[in-house]
Amino acid sequence: MNVKSAKFLTSATGLEDCPKSSMPEFAFIGRSNVGKSSLINLLTGKQGLAKVSSTPGKTKLINFFTINDSWSLVDLPGYGYARVSKGEQEGFTELIGDYLLERENLKQIYVLIDSRNEPMQIDLEFIAWLREADAPLTIIFTKVDKVSMPELQGNVNRFTQTLESGGVDIPKVLSSSSKDKLGRGLILSSIQKLLPKGKSAKKKKVNISLGWMKK
Ligand code: GTP
Ligand code: MG
């Protein structure tokens, strides 16, 4: 799928504040610093569209980007950022939780996991919670440029096995590296599968000779 245009639309603090839209929406969530904003820039091919920082907690709002004037990518703040208070963490969970579970045009939630880590409780619990709520979910293991193939395989296996042993169904799994530009094609095609069909099906051109009209 071609990304022909990608524009920042607006920011919101919670569900109430989100733009009224019936466009299919695809949201990116995960721990602070996992690479959500970088991945949105990779998918759109526009560096700097979503703000990236090596300091965790950069994205603080729900940011909407309109793609090809027909669907949206949503960059969410990260969870598990150590430097926010417990109250702020709870506020975050409530605001983002409402968005994730109640946004009607949200077609898929991409949960990003740092491929360097052993399974972390906060990620496992977050995925279990989304599964419980029957939310549409795909996992993306990020920063694969930082691990070898066997390490990646080992960490993915340990993660999915831990989910399974906790009674959680394993979601679809993809991987990415924003640094090495990997994973873009598969992520975009997973989005494309959820877009309404038909718009690209051009009407057949009917070729009628009008020669008989000439006098
Ligand atoms: P918050 O908004 O703070 O929650 O972070 P985020 O999840 O949006 O992460 P962001 O995209 O801002 O990236 C965090 C840091 O990781 C930055 O220093 C990025 O350059 C780096 N980073 C992101 N993706 C990759 C990747 O695929 N490979 C490598 N090596 N670094 C990456
Ligand atoms: Mg961010």
Which residue, 17, 200, 146, 14, is CA-closest to 93? 14
Q: Ligand 2 centroid vs 127 CA: distance in angstroms?
A: 19
Is pLDDT above 70 for 211? no
Report, as an integer, the average pLDDT of 66-79: 95
Q: At what angle do helices 36-44 and 184-192 cross, to 10 degrees?
A: 80
Verify whether ligand 1 is closer than 6 Å to residue 57 (CB atom).
yes
Domains and CATH numbers, the chain: 6-213 (3.40.50.300)
How many Å apart are CA 77 and CA 67, to the nearest integer? 20
Distance 54 CA to ligand 1 centre (A): 6
With cut-offs at 50, 70 and 90, classify the pLDDT of residue 197. confident
The reply to whether ligand 1 has any atom less than 6 angstroms from the CB of 42 is: no
- Reading the block at residue 197, the tokens are 């069909």
pLDDT score, position 89:
67
Task: Identify the nearest ligand to the CA of 115 by its number.
Answer: 1
Confirm or reject: Cβ of 32 under 6 Å from ligand 1: yes
The one-character DSSP state at 169 is P
pLDDT score, position 80:
79
The Cα 70–Cα 60 span in angstroms is 25
pLDDT above 80: residue 198: no
Closest CA to 34 of 126, 149, 111: 111
Assessment of whether the complete model's pTM goes beyond 0.85: yes
For residue 56 and ligand 1, the question of a CB distance below 6 A is answered with: yes
Ligand closest in space to the Cα of 52: 1
Report which of 63, 176, 157 is spatially closest to residue 111, judged by C-alpha positions. 176
pLDDT range class, residue 79, cuts 50, 70, 90: confident
Residues with CB under 5 A from ligand 2 (ion): 36-37, 58-59
Could you report the per-residue pLDDT of 95-140, keeping only the tens digit for each? 789 999 999 999 999 999 999 999 999 999 999 999 999 999 999 9
Q: Report the C-alpha gap between 37 and 148 in whole angstroms.
A: 23
Ligand 1 contact, 146 CB (< 6 A): yes
Instruction: Give the number of whichever ligand sits closest to the CA of residue 81.
Output: 1
Closest approach atom of ligand 1 to CA 40? 11
Ligand 1 pocket mutation, candidates 111, 178, 180, 184, criterion most atoms within 8 A of CB: 178
